[in-house]
Amino acid sequence: MKVLVIGGGAREHALCRSLSLDPDVTALHCAPGNAGIAEVAEAHPVDALDGAAVADLAAALGADLVVVGPEAPLVAGVADAVRSRGIPAFGPSAEAARLEGSKAFAKSVMASANVPTARSYVCATPEEVDAALDAFGAPYVVKDDGLAAGKGVVVTDDLAAARSHALDCMGVPPMPSRQWGKVVIEEFLDGPEVSLFAVTDGETVVPLQPAQDFKRALDGDEGPNTGGMGAYSPLPWADPKLVDEVLRTVLQPTVDELRRRGTPFSGLLYAGLAITSRGVRVIEFNARFGDPETQVVLARLKTPLAGLLHAAATGTLASFPPLRWSDGAAVTVVVASHNYPGTPRMGDAIEGLAEADAVEGAYVLHAGTARAESGAVVSAGGRVLSVTATGTDIAEARGRAYESVSHIHLDGAHHRTDIAARLS
């Protein structure tokens, strides 16, 4: 099978790593890729948002499967462009990807499917924002309606900060011919958060193993929200029946509702969940593998990946064998560049990668990296590396991950030191 992966982050490196280990994959390509992905897949300098260019590349390569990694290409219709050429694509249509592209749309789907989620208001004026904030009270939860790379959510006790973020999400004050954008204001959900992925062909839904990520930039869950600073799997504290419950009450009803609407969802459905005192509640949906949770989930998946994704892309998931998982654990620690999640500094040399990769059970996945003319690997984004390690349990995996991180030098870089610390 010839596979083309679209994207250039640590999620795509994790996907490419797993696909490269699949004996059924005869050729592996990525567009545009990064410095690490280029070591396991042939990289192509194609704009991931250009559906026609991606489809042309897939056709020229004779790809049997195209895997669209990031959310922006999915919302832009890249998977549609690939499928229009008769090539199987793993990833939802632009219409179905609205489940991530619009929080308001997702709330509408959940209401129709009777999926448990936070009570919310979709606001389109400053007056509606004020009324919603007053109705729920602190802590205030304000979400950008559109894509925000995991950083569009503010949770705060500060009313002024909540209102300011809401107005920022809605855009500049409207002109006579222009309206405010939308913002979603929700009730605060107590309890730990869990990420659960599911592969689906639009009818059959196959859940993966749950993971937990760490969104705040600093230790102790302090600092601003980020795209994710680390993750671990499995969750020894979670109810063994959690996955079955979420499949029954969240994942399958959502897929069924989208099919009923005439916009079947095929690809990866990601449910961000809160395990509250009142039961499981959906925080958000994403339309693709999450980062950094993908890194730890795929580290534990023993089933070859290409066949699973191809079955989803071709509508044959019902006959796919049950998934197989390792008994151990996986931990990922994200190394971020100076000033992330603000404007990151880029172009700094990264040293110690070979030594980090040499740690038993550990490997380095590249996110924001590039190859300089000198041949050196340099930073090229906010989240630069995802150092992932496996072990017999979380304590061993965590120890190996941090030992690997200790070998990496990137001027001004930072990482959290408490990923999965409470479990080891």
Give the CATH number of the domain where residue 327 resides.
Answer: 3.30.470.20
Check whether residue 320 and residue 241 sit in a common domain. Answer: yes
Two tokens, residue 173:
């004050």
User: Is 104 within a domain?
Assistant: no
d(CA 52, CA 412) in angstroms, rounded, equals: 39
d(CA 149, CA 400) in angstroms, rounded, equals: 29
User: Is 346 within a domain?
Assistant: yes
Check whether residue 405 and residue 300 sit in a common domain. Answer: yes
Under 8 Å between Cβ of 162 and 132:
no
The CATH number assigned to the domain holding 147 equals 3.30.1490.20
Helix or strand run (H / E) with residue 82: helix 78-83
Two tokens, residue 278:
């009142």
Check whether residue 22 and residue 124 sit in a common domain. Answer: no
Within 10 angstroms of residue 256's Cβ, the number of other Cβ atoms is 16
Domain range spanning residue 401?
A: 193-423
Check whether residue 307 and residue 210 sit in a common domain. Answer: yes
Q: Tell me the residue length of the chain.
A: 424
Under 8 Å between Cβ of 365 and 299:
no
Check whether residue 314 and residue 329 sit in a common domain. Answer: yes
Q: Report long-range pairs for 305-310 (Cβ below 8 Å, ≥24 apart).
A: 305/15, 305/18, 305/19, 305/22, 306/1, 306/3, 306/19, 306/22, 306/24, 306/25, 306/65, 307/22, 307/24, 308/199, 308/206, 309/65, 309/67, 309/90, 309/199, 310/1, 310/64, 310/65, 310/88, 310/90
User: Is 230 within a domain?
Assistant: yes
User: Is 98 within a domain?
Assistant: no
User: Is 331 within a domain?
Assistant: yes
Check whether residue 35 and residue 139 sit in a common domain. Answer: no
Check whether residue 218 and residue 152 sit in a common domain. Answer: no
- Nearest-10 Cα torsion for 202, 120, 146, 290: -50
- Structural domain count of the chain: 3
d(CA 69, CA 46) in angstroms, rounded, equals: 14
Give the pLDDT confidence score for residue 159 in this predicted structure: 93
Check whether residue 239 and residue 137 sit in a common domain. Answer: no
Give the pLDDT confidence score for residue 147 in this predicted structure: 73
d(CA 80, CA 98) in angstroms, rounded, equals: 13
User: Is 178 within a domain?
Assistant: yes
Average pLDDT, 10 consecutive residues per value, the chain (424 residues): 98 98 98 97 97 98 98 96 98 96 91 93 90 92 75 84 89 58 88 96 98 96 93 97 98 98 98 94 95 98 98 98 97 97 95 98 97 95 98 98 98 97 88
Check whether residue 131 and residue 247 sit in a common domain. Answer: no
Question: Considering the entire predicted model, what is its pTM?
Answer: 0.91
Under 8 Å between Cβ of 395 and 419:
no
User: Is 64 within a domain?
Assistant: yes
User: Is 107 within a domain?
Assistant: no
d(CA 129, CA 162) in angstroms, rounded, equals: 9
d(CA 251, CA 102) in angstroms, rounded, equals: 18
Bridge partners (DSSP) listed for residue 197 = 270
d(CA 121, CA 225) in angstroms, rounded, equals: 22
